[in-house]
Structure 1
Amino acid sequence: MKIAMIGGGMVGQTLAAKLLSVGHEVTIGIRAATEAELAKPRNYAATLNDWQAATGGRVTGFAAAAADADLVFNVTSGLVSLAALTAVGAANLAGKVLIDVSNPLDFSAGMPPFLPAALSERTSVGEEIQKAFPEALVVKAFNTISAPVMVEPGLVPGVELLIAGNSAEAKAKVTTLARQAFGWQGVLDLGDISGARGTEHLMPLWLRLYMTGGSPQVALKVIRG
C-alpha cells in the first residue's frame, strides 16, 4: 500500500519506519523538503536525512506525498493540522482514509499543556478536519499513546486502540492495518468522528501519568462491569 505520512517528527518517523519494514511504500511529507529542513535536528527524532538513510523511505512536500497515496496519516501538531492539510490539498485527500493522530496540545505556557477552547469546547481536531475535508474518510486513531506503543502495543500489555470515524469501512481498514502492521489485538470503536473529543481530552491525563510515572509506556484501558 502507498501511504503518506504528513509530518516528519518522532511520531511520523516511528510509524513510517515500521510500515516500511513490513512492506508498505511510505513517503513522509513536510512543508518544504529543502536540504536545510532535511538536515535540521528534530525533537526526540532523527534528522530526516538520517531517517531516509536508515529506512530507505522518502521525504517530499505535503502535496507530493499525498498525491498518489492510498492512505494518509496526519501526524502534525493538532494546532497546525488544518493548515498542513490545506497545503496537502483537498483533491489529494478526497476518497482516501485519513488517519488523524493529532492532539491540540498548546505548550505556549510550558508544561503541562492545555487544550485551547476553539479546538476542545464543542469540537475536536478530528471533527474540524472532517468538516474541512468532507470527501476524506477521517478516522481518529493512535493519539492516546506514545509513538513506541503505536507500533509495538505489547510494550503495554492489554492496551486497546481507540478509534472514531463516520465511515465503518474506513474504520475497518484502519483496524486491519493496525493489526497486520503493528500487531494490535484490542481495538475499541467509539462511534462517529465526535468520539475524537473523548480521545483528545484524554491527553492531559495521559501526560500527567507520563510525568508522574516517568515513562511514556503507559495507557488507559476501558474496563466494563
Structure 2
Amino acid sequence: MKIAVLGTGAVGRAHAAALAALGHQVTIGTRDLMATPARSEPDAMGTAPFAAWAEQHPAVSLAGYAAAAAQAELLINATAGHASVDCLTAAGAHNLAGKVLIDVATPNDFTTPVAVPMPSPWNTPAPILNPAVTDSLAEQIQRAFPEAKVVKAVNTLAAHLMTDPTALAGGDHTVFLSGDDPDAKTRVRDLLTAYGWRDVIDLGELTTARGTEMIQPLYLALTRALGHEHFNFKIVR
C-alpha cells in the first residue's frame, strides 16, 4: 500500500520505518523539501537530523506535503498538533478526500505554557492542550477536511512504542482508536495489528478522541515522575 506519513520528527520517522519494514511504499511529507534534508543540528525535541535517519532508511522517500498526499492511499498525520490543520491544508483537501487519515498528533499549545517543566531533553515549560474538553484536534481536522476519513489512534504513548508494542511488557498493554467511519477504523485496526498490537479498544465516534488527547498531561507527568517514556497504559477488565 502507498502510505504518506506527514511529519519528519520522531513520531513520523517511527511510523515510516515500521511501515516500510512491513513492505509498504512509504513517503514522508515535509513542509520544506529543501530545508529538511539540509539540517545538521537536532530539532527542538532533540531528534537527530533527518538526513542521518534517511541514510539508514533508503526505502522511505521524501516529498512535499501535497506530493506525498497525492500518491497515497492512506495517510498518517504526525505533524505538530498546533500546526496540523495548516500542514494538512498544504497537503490539499483534494488529496485527502476519500482516504483514511490516521491522526496521531496531540494539540500541544506552547504559546501559553504552564509552570511545570517538561523532562529532559526539552527542559521547557510544559504545554497546555488547545483544544480540550469540548473539542479535539481530530474533530478539527475532520471538520476542515470533511471528505477525509479521520481516525484517532496511538496518541497516548511514546513514538518508539507506537509501532513496536512488544518492546514493552511483551506487548501486553493497550491502545485506543476513535472515528466515525467503521470501515476506516477496521483498516486502522488491521494496521495496528500488523505493528504487533493485541489490545486495541475502539472507543467509538470521533468525539471520544477528546479523552485520549487529554491523556497528554498525565503522560507528561508520568514522564517526569519516571524519568523516561518507556511506559504505557493497560486496561484491565
**Superposition map of 1:142-161 within 5 A:** 142-157=154-169, 158-161=172-175
Give the deviation of 1:89 after TM superposition. Answer: 0.6
2:36 and 2:188 mapped to 1: Cα distance? 30
Relative to the length of structure 1, the TM-score reads 0.94
CA deviations over 1:76-116 (Å, ceiling 9, x no partner): 11111110000001000001000000101123434322113
Provide the C-alpha distance between the structure 2 equivalents of 1:52 and 1:58, rounded to a whole number of angstroms: 8
| Shift of residue 223, structure 1, vs aligned partner | 2.8
Question: CA 1:179/1:44 → structure 2, altered by over 3 Å: closer, same or farther?
Answer: farther
* SS of alignment partner, residue 102 of structure 1: coil
Which letter does structure 1 place at the counterpart of 2:110? Answer: F
Change (3 A) 1:33 1:19: same
Equivalent position of 2:109 in the other structure: 106
- 2:121 aligns with none
1:199 matches 2:212: yes
Name the residue aligned to 1:219.
232
2:88 equivalent among 85, 88, 93: 85
1:188 maps to which of 185, 201, 212:
201
Report the CA distance between 1:47 and its aligned residue.
2.1
* Count of aligned pairs: 220
Whether contact under 8 Å (1:2, 1:69) holds in the other structure is yes
Which residue does the alignment assign to 2:78? 75
Task: Give, in whole Å, the separation in 2 of the partners of 1:111 and 1:161.
Answer: 27
1:166 to 134, 155, 180: 180
Structure 2: where are the runs of 5+ without partners? 114-123
SS of the aligned residue for 1:18 comes to helix
Whether 1:138 and 2:117 are equivalent positions in the alignment is no
Q: Say whether 1:63 aligns with 2:99.
A: no
Q: Does 1:94 align with 2:97?
A: yes
Q: CA deviation at 1:18?
A: 1.2
Tell me how far apart the structure 2 counterparts of residues 46 and 20 of structure 1 sit (CA, whole Å). 20
Provide Cα deviations, 1:139-195, integer angstroms capped at 9, x if missing partner: 000100101111111233321110000011001000101111x11111000101001
- Give per-residue Cα distances to partners, 1:111-138, cap 9 Å, x unaligned: 322113xx11410000010111111000
Paired residue for 1:47? 49
Give the Cα separation in 2 of the matches to 1:121 and 1:151.
27
SS at match of 2:82: coil
Distance 1:15 1:102 in 2: 12
- State the match for 1:208 in structure 2: 221
Kept in 2: contact 1:13–1:45 (CA 8 A)? no
Q: Which residue of the partner structure matches residue 33 of structure 1? A: 33
Counting aligned pairs with the same residue, the percent is: 43
Q: Summarize deviations over 1:54-83 as a string: whole Å, max 9, x none.
A: 111111100000101010000011111110
Q: Is the 8 A contact 1:48 1:59 kept in 2?
A: no
Q: Provide the C-alpha distance between the structure 2 equivalents of 1:220 and 1:184, rounded to a whole number of angstroms.
A: 13
Match among 100, 111, 120 for residue 132 of structure 2: 120
**Alpha-carbon RMSD:** 1.2
Answer whether contact 1:166 1:191 (CA < 8 A) is retained: yes
The answer to whether the 8 A contact 1:16-1:26 is kept is: yes
- For 1:223 and 1:198, the matched residues in 2 are separated by 18
TM-score of the aligned structures, taking structure 2 as reference length: 0.89
